[in-house]
């Protein structure tokens, strides 16, 4: 079964690009367009990894990240930040700036899923 990636991204073009990139490379992708929906999908879909934009409507990426890390059932899901805004969250968290390089993102995702 394909590893599932939750893409939390409010920009429809970027969300579609990331979803297509992951699907084209053998992953299953689910998209949330805001922080609240992202948290709901974390709980219902139990993805293997989440890509996270920081600047989101209805709960920022920083709040989503902090909330999931306090939840014992979600805290171990790997997170890769893909954002135009620098995160104010855990140091050492893989962070890629937009526009993202596809090959680099796929490499970081593969490493995080090991």
Instruction: Taking residues 88-105, report their average pLDDT.
Output: 86
Q: What is residue 27's predicted lDDT score, i.e. its pLDDT?
A: 98
Q: Please give the helix or strand (H or E) that residue 95 lies within, else none.
A: strand 95-97
What are the structural domains of the chain? 4-112 (3.40.50.2300)
| pLDDT greater than 80 at residue 16 | yes
Q: What is residue 67's predicted lDDT score, i.e. its pLDDT?
A: 96
Write out pLDDT tens, residues 35-49. 999 999 999 999 999
Q: What is residue 58's predicted lDDT score, i.e. its pLDDT?
A: 87
Q: What is residue 5's predicted lDDT score, i.e. its pLDDT?
A: 98
Q: How far apart are CA 19 and CA 11, in angstroms?
A: 12
Confidence of residue 87 (pLDDT cuts 50, 70, 90): low
Instruction: Taking residues 23-46, report their average pLDDT.
Output: 97
Q: Please give the helix or strand (H or E) that residue 28 lies within, else none.
A: strand 28-32
Per DSSP bridges, beta strands 49-52 and 79-83 are parallel
Q: Please give the helix or strand (H or E) that residue 45 lies within, else none.
A: helix 35-45
Q: What is residue 88's predicted lDDT score, i.e. its pLDDT?
A: 64
Q: What is residue 90's predicted lDDT score, i.e. its pLDDT?
A: 63
């Amino acid at each position: 079964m394909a590893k599932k990636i939750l893409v939390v991204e409010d920009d429809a073009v970027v969300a579609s690009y990331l979803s297509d990139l992951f699907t084209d490379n053998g992953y299953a992708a689910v998209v949330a367009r805001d922080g609240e929906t992202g948290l709901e999908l974390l709980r219902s879909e139990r993805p293997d990894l989440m890509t996270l934009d920081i600047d989101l409507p209805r709960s920022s990426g920083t709040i989503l990240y902090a909330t999931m890390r306090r939840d014992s059932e979600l805290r171990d899901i790997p997170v890769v930040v893909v954002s135009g805004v620098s995160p104010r969250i855990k140091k050492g968290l893989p962070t890629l700036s937009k526009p993202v390089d596809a090959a680099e993102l796929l490499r970081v995702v593969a490493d995080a899923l090991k």
